[in-house]
Structure 1
Amino acid sequence: MMTNLFSTFDPSTMMSLSLNWMSIFLGMLFIPSMFWLIPSRWNYLWIKIMMTLHKEFKILINSQFNGSTLIFISLFSFILFNNFLGLFPYIFTSSSHLIMTLSMSLPLWLSFMIYGWLNNTIHMFAHLVPQGSPSILMPFMVCIETISNIIRPGTLAVRLTANMIAGHLLLTLLGNTGPSMTMFTINFLIIVQILLLMLESAVSIIQSYVFSVLSTLYSSEVIYAYT
């Protein structure tokens, strides 16, 4: 018997192991089949999406190397699969936890910063003062730019987490009102839930795209500034 609404997502299992995080690897069950089976429409669609992302990310980072966008395309795919899997009932939504999102944004940001300060030190110092800033405001601009740069991994992680939590909580709270409703209001509730589920599907795509695009933009400011 459930002790509370979220007890079905309790990390403990019958084997006394926390297996909820294994949902991260559920995407592996769906992806490989399209690579060794006869090419299908799903295969062509996925390749089209990857090539579109590759062209867009390549323009953003201004790189001539074809493999430079691989990490960002992989990041987009990973977040997208986890967001979609979280929409299914009783599947652990890993992308709604800060420990998951921070583990993606923080190493990327740290690697960009280390590379930038070691290889493009002058550019990194110049980037702290926006072009055209008055001389009297330069100390304040340095402080503002430094703070905005430091909070970047946090904003990336919180943005993804907050968007996934908000939609799931709204669906759950509306679903819990079903037993106390009449037949007419239940029909209306089902329509609202379907619309919200469609909205959540769109949010899953948009947030994975935003996360990967912002990561690409952060890397373009640091890595390929003078290459």
Structure 2
Amino acid sequence: MQRATRSFALALYAAMAAMAFGSGGASTSAQAAGTEKPFKWPASFVVLGNGYPHPGDVCRRLGESAATANYLDHMAMLVGCPGPRDSAAVRAIVEHQRRARVVGEADGVTLISISTEGAQTSSQNGHPPVKESPLSASGTLPCERGNGQIRTMCKFGVVHHSDRSTTVVVYWPDGTTRAIFFAVNGRVMGTAASANDQPTPGDTLTSKHAGINLISVGNERYEIEDTILSGG
């Protein structure tokens, strides 16, 4: 009787140990999955915004650089998604946007060209969708916040419109944007939070020195060279 009891106790202990080991293994796997590092964009790309098509998404709009020069089109915008062309992020864009197509891969990023032609056709609910204008140039420019408290270089994108006016979209490191609208003569018509908003004069002050437009919007400061507006 004692031998049977001892055998049962040993079997029960072994079963409990196996369950504990299995639980520990699952916990380790979950922790490993949770510590996956976010994708670090290579320096070969000019990354714009904080996610495409929605803020926080892994894909990004891309500006002009050595890695994208062969894929830029003035009638399309270029989007990059980390990973191969069959990744979930790429499929989500290509399968849901009929004007999107994969055009190449570079440095671990799949490149997607999205045509902007016909983007103002009416939607099913009767409201025309916002047209996404293609960027004709990109780079960095001096920007400042808080009366000199934060001075850095911000990425920007330029849109040249058919009426010869120009919109410069500045991308702050925290993901917010500032759109500055210029008339044909280079005068600032107004600013907005994004290029799709209507420009308003607001508390905007402008001056020019040695071919550089010095623009103040509240506590924000921007230095935009004339060559950016002319495309030179």
Alignment TM-score, normalising by the size of structure 1: 0.20
> Would you tell me which structure has more strand in proportion to its own residues?
2
> Would you tell me which structure has more helix in proportion to its own residues?
1
Q: Considering Cα pairs closer than 8 Å and 6+ residues apart, tell me whether 1 or 2 has the greater RCO.
A: 1
